[in-house]
Structure 1
Amino acid sequence: MTTAPDTLLGDFELATDVPACYLPLGDDRFAPTIHVQGAWRPDEQHMAPVGGLIAHAIETHEPRPELQLARISYDILGVMPARPSVVEVHTVRPGRTIELVEATMSVDGRPVVRARAWRLATGDSSAAAGLELEPMPHPDEFPRWTGMEIWGGGYIRSLEVRADPARRPGRARVWMRSGNALVAGEDVSPTAAFLAFADTANGIAVRVPPGEWAFPNVDLTVHLLREPVPGWVGLDTRVNLGDNGIGLTSSVLHDVRGPVGTVEQILTVRPLPGS
């Protein structure tokens, strides 16, 4: 393990030599690695892998293969320090075909994210199927994009990104993937692995420079029509900023088979001191 100025955080050091976002510590505890490091601050966890970890904990809580995670909403309660984290899960509303599950992630005894997920029974509805969501071009049709380098942190550095050349402030279509596992040594579902990218949407179509403005999201809500296939994650994103300090990032989520669902993020928008 090597030490860099932004990996030694108080009495905890982010591992840099592990090809995974988290190391399992037992008893529902997980240690973040450098691949979780946040974009706004080097001493916090990025919400994207946090979202994947929480989804993984929910899916492995009293698992039922006949139910699909169809909606998950995360409330971000504050800064998520890049330190060992505990994820606790319980069932709020059990049911044969519909189930509501809640998870809380805590760091140093303080809750930092609370999530609720609906798990719904799947069945054959092919006779009624139909989509209005437009598919994205295949990742091979977009060139590699280095625009994410405006952001700091180990999570963003771990991504391979391809973007539509027609992207502009407030509008972008992007494909991304990572060579890192979500949790070292654990089987992770395609859904949890996919959700480890959803929060990245707020950083791909920025309207204002992140060095001059702060626009973090305080929530993340994902609806999924189906289980995604592993590999590339596509984001078809629109960003709207109001004149009252509130913004909204809206995205359609894709895999290489087509649209998978949607993600919404509400933003608090404010100028940074000295900008």
Structure 2
Amino acid sequence: MDAYFEDIGESRFLPTKHTQGPWDPGYQHFGPPGALLAREIERCAADDGGDGALALGRITYDILGPVPLRPLTARAWVERPGRRVRLVRGELLEAGRPLVSAAAWAVRPAPDDTPATGARRRPPAGPPGLEHAPAVIPDGWACGFLDSVEWRFAHGGYGRPGPAAVWLRPRMPLLDGEPMSPVQRTVLAVDSANGISAELDIRAWGFVPPELTVHLLRPPDGEWLCLDAQTSVGPGEPGLTTSTLFDAAGPVARSAQTLLVHHR
């Protein structure tokens, strides 16, 4: 199936090979399950007697353990209801065991007559011939998820230490026959920030995020998004990856990930 998950009923979802991550062939890249949980959170926030006027402003994921390529249950609930501010929590479970917990704040957007402040940063330019400049995935990185996305690097790249910026576009939806929402597309993209900007060789080092925080500025427009990321690691320190996600008009989200850095 050319989708990341198959809906098998009763809020349960079967991952396909396209969710597979680079650390272990039996576990998922967090982009697809993170987007799946965002889907449940969006639906819950919209269904809580609201008028559809609230927008998700922040989602924080706590990744309690590796997410296996096995059926997942997704659920979400409103913890703090409100007409202007609402807190939604969610979970992904496998065989009843929580694997991921999330908390999301939904807020009423600013009025249309709110003054715009600050200069809007432009995205890094894509490579010439964006549609026809595929990236090469080096040894140690190949996996089902990376193969499911089109990657076009503006600078840096997988296997090239240091900051990087990449235009990307998934080749498939989250679920068959259902377009991804802007929030789902954002989460799917930003979890790759620590990979594209890795400072260490993936064949010798692990740099695994136990959490992901995403601040959402506005819905992205267009199929291609640009992820601009940088990672900091050092002796005696936790690692940290930060990123800005762009569409062609400017920033749409920012993210941060704490990293567990270790020898493999």
Provide the alpha-carbon RMSD of the alignment: 1.9
Map of 2:213 onto structure 1: 221
Shift of 1:136: 1.3
Cα distance 1:148–1:73, how it changes in 2: closer, same or farther (>3 A)?
A: farther
Q: Which residue, 202, 211, 216 being the options, matches 2:194? A: 202
From 147, 170, 180, give the equivalent of 1:188. 180
Three-state SS of the structure 2 residue aligned to 1:54 is helix
Shift of 1:233: 1.9
The CA deviation at 1:146 is 1.5
Gaps of 5+ in 2: none
Could you tell me how far 1:61 is from its partner in structure 2?
1.4
Aligned partner (choices 141, 159, 163) of residue 149 of structure 2? 159
Shift of 1:139: 3.4
User: Structure 1 residues 126 and 206, CA, compared in 2 at 3 Å: closer, same or farther?
Assistant: farther
Q: Secondary structure at the match of 1:46?
A: coil
> How far did 1:225 drift?
1.0
> Which secondary structure does the structure 2 equivalent of 1:59 belong to?
helix
CA contact (8 A) 1:49 1:197 kept: no
Is residue 37 from structure 1 mapped to residue 29 from structure 2 by the alignment? Answer: no
Q: Which amino acid aligns with 1:97?
A: R
Match of residue 61 from structure 2:
74
- Secondary structure of the structure 2 residue equivalent to 1:231: coil
Would the aligned equivalents of 1:237 and 1:252 in 2 still touch at CA under 8 Å? Answer: yes
Query: Counterparts of 1:1-275 in structure 2 under 5 Å?
Result: 18-63=1-46, 64=50, 65-125=52-112, 127-131=114-118, 134-139=121-126, 141=128, 143-147=133-137, 150-165=140-155, 169-272=161-264
Aligned to 1:7: none
Q: Secondary structure at the match of 2:208?
A: coil
Preserved contact between residue 228 and residue 244 of structure 2 (Cα < 8 Å): yes
- Does the C-alpha gap of structure 1 residues 55 and 151 become closer, same or farther in structure 2, counting only changes over 3 Å? same
Contact 1:138-1:256 at 8 Å conserved across structures = no
Question: Secondary structure at 2:74's aligned position in 1?
Answer: strand
Q: Does the 8 Å CA contact 1:177/1:231 hold for their aligned counterparts? A: yes
Q: CA deviation at 1:194?
A: 2.5
Q: Is the 8 A contact 1:38 1:154 kept in 2?
A: yes
Contact 2:193 / 2:227 at 8 angstroms: preserved in 1? yes
Aligned counterparts of 2:77 and 2:229: Cα–Cα separation in 1:
32
Q: Normalising by the residue count of structure 1, what TM-score does the alignment of the two structures yield?
A: 0.87
Kept after mapping to 2: 8 A contact 1:99/1:120: yes
Between 77-86 and 194-203, the greater mean CA deviation after superposition: 194-203
Residue identity in the other structure for 1:41: D
Determine if contact 2:56/2:105 at 8 Å carries over to the other structure. Answer: yes
Taking structure 2 as the reference length, the TM-score comes to 0.90
| In 1, Cα distance between equivalents of 2:225 and 2:140 | 20
Q: Residue 105 of structure 1: SS of its match in structure 2?
A: strand
Q: 1:11 is matched with which residue?
A: none
Rounded to whole Å, the distance in 1 between the matches of 2:71 and 2:40 is 15
Q: Return the offset for 1:79.
A: 1.2
Between stretches 130-139 and 183-192, larger displacement belongs to 130-139
Aligned residues: 255
Q: AA paired with 1:179?
A: R
Q: Secondary structure at the match of 1:155?
A: helix
Question: For residues 66 and 38 of structure 1, do their structure 2 counterparts lie closer, same or farther at Cα, with a shift above 3 Å needed?
Answer: same
Q: Please state whether the residue corresponding to 2:235 is helix, strand or coil.
A: coil
One-letter amino acid of the counterpart of residue 208, structure 2: P
